[in-house]
Amino acid sequence: MAPPDIVTTVLSDTEHVRRALDDVRDSMDAVPEYRAIGDTTQIILAEVLNNVVEHAYRYEAGHPIHVKLSFGPDALNCCVVDEGVAMPEGKPPNGGMPDLDPNDPDSLPEGGFGWAMINMMTTGLTYTRNGGRNELVFSIPKDGT
Amino acid sequence: MPLSSSDHDYAQVVHVDDTRLDASIAIQFKEDFRNLTAGRGDVILEMSQVEFLDSSGLGSIVAVFKGLGPNRAMALAGLQPAVAKVMTLTRMNTVFAIFPTLDDALAAAAAPHAAE
């Protein structure tokens, strides 16, 4: 039998996100067959939740971010819902990793890695804007990426 | 933001005394790093206590590296698996000299001076 879903509501600031990630880590550590994607889950959720804090709620604290993680047979299925502003162009950024030139440090990007990592390590990423809510659904495959 | 510094023969070591280098402390990290390293030489960022790095934390490392300017080197030491994973995914492992331990990084910093 699959372990129970992890359901939590996180308040919209980076401190609460950090604590929520710690709690998710503890919950996932208790499920041995998902331990291999523990780090990936931390990375993805950190990027998704901090994007909500930064862009959907524009660093306004105290708003809810609803998180539900379900242990599927092949993947951790994730749903993140917020009540902030919609994503620009009505869809998540689909970019890949920013280019790097190790020989030109001044040109190195300081951002743009978050969505690139999300796109790289998740499957079935779907964004829906519905009744003033953003809903992001995605899966993190158990066999890793 | 707990950052501390120790002096070695050929590099200043900046220790990150926190388990996460993430969005909640990225700005403070940049400020404290700049204050600790102002007017100094090469830097080794010792990260063995850091269990988790997100893209904001990574951005702050890139920012302070760029802030050191062209004549000062920065190496990273003691990366835990989740941190190393972010470095690999973003290919930042091609930009920074990364050493398994602080001792390895110190040895590399001393190597060019071995004949002196």
Residue B88's CATH number: 3.30.750.24
Do you know the residue count of chain A? 145
CA A83/CA A100 separation, integer angstroms = 35
Using alpha carbons only, give the angle A37, A40, A43 rounded to the nearest 5 degrees. 150
Per-residue model confidence (pLDDT) at position A132: 95
ipTM: 0.88
Residue B34 falls inside a structural domain: yes
The residue of chain A nearest to residue B89, with distances taken between CA atoms, is A117
- Residue A102's pLDDT band, with cuts at 50, 70 and 90, is confident
User: Residue B114: what pLDDT?
Assistant: 80
Which residue segment(s) compose the domain that B22 sits in?
Answer: 3-110
- Specify if B60 maps to a domain: yes
What domains are defined for chain A? 6-141 (3.30.565.10)
Give percent helix, percent strand, percent coil of chain B, each to the nearest 5. Answer: 40, 20, 35
Instruction: Dump pLDDT digits (tens) for A19-64.
Output: 999 999 999 998 998 988 999 999 999 999 999 999 999 999 999 9
Residue of B nearest to A45 (CA): B54
Residue from B90, B91, B94, B98 to probe the interface with A (highest A Cβ count within 10 Å): B90
In a domain, B74, yes or no: yes
* pLDDT tens digits for range A79-98: 999 999 999 989 999 888 99
Structural domain count of chain B: 1
How far is A39 from B85, CA to CA, in rounded Å?
Answer: 9
